Amino acid sequence: MRLNAFLARAGVASRRRADELIKAGRVNVNGEPGQLNTVVGAHDRVEVDGREVTRQRLRYVLLHKPAGVVTTARDPHRRPTVVELVPDAPRVVPVGRLDADTTGVLLLTNDGQLAHRLAHPRYGVEKTYVAEVEGDPDEDALQRLRDGVELDDSRTAPARARRLGPSRVELVLHGGRKHQVKRMLAAVGPPVTGLHRSAYAGLTLVGLEPGRWRELEPHEVERLRAG
């Protein structure tokens, strides 16, 4: 893997910060200065400021994100973050984002390769949301969601949409644009008053209360990689 990815996985720094360390000459690989394009193998020795960096085990954490917590590793406004809700060794970061007021399934990991795959739009990872809305959307509004909605930055892909009850809609998407669910529902009429992600890439929150987490089972990790 590339040197910056190795440093990020080891919990030394983010990839961007790792690049800065490399460019500053503070990272050695097998006794030689590391470069931005250096690839690290299983038997290579990596040092930062003369201290050896050890590999961390890969970790996959499923969190039931509560409302009022931001999906980031650090927040300049000192709001609580999702990273603070899980053990910090080895360090994991969230895959994608949920708004602060949105609850539900969130995956955190230090597996950069898998995180990139899951977050990239071209892989079409399935996400299921349950939205509480003002009013009661009719069949015409649901059909518009199924067909795709014209937003200010482009048209959304078709989604699965169904009414769960009065003022309650389920949307299944494969996209992940900023505020997409809220924007889609606002475009067809009913503004969102509450949003919950009930499933992500086949992962659900069975047995997890808000703010609680669990490690993924090996078969779940393999399914994510194969999907």
User: Domains plus CATH for the chain?
Assistant: 3-52 (3.10.290.10), 60-121+203-226 (3.30.70.580), 126-200 (3.30.70.1560)
Question: Helix, strand, or coil here: 183?
Answer: helix
Give this prediction's pTM.
Answer: 0.81
From the candidates 99, 136, 147, 152, give the one annotated as an active-site residue.
99
99-125 pLDDT per residue, tens? 999 999 999 998 877 888 898 877 889
- The two beta strands, 192-200 and 103-109, are parallel
Q: How far apart are the C-alpha atoms of 135 and 168, rounded to whole Å?
A: 9
Helical packing angle, 218-226 and 112-119, nearest 10°:
50
CB distance 3 to 46 below 8 Å: yes
Active site residue 49: no
128-184 pLDDT per residue, tens? 999 999 988 899 999 999 999 999 888 999 999 999 999 999 999 987 778 899 999
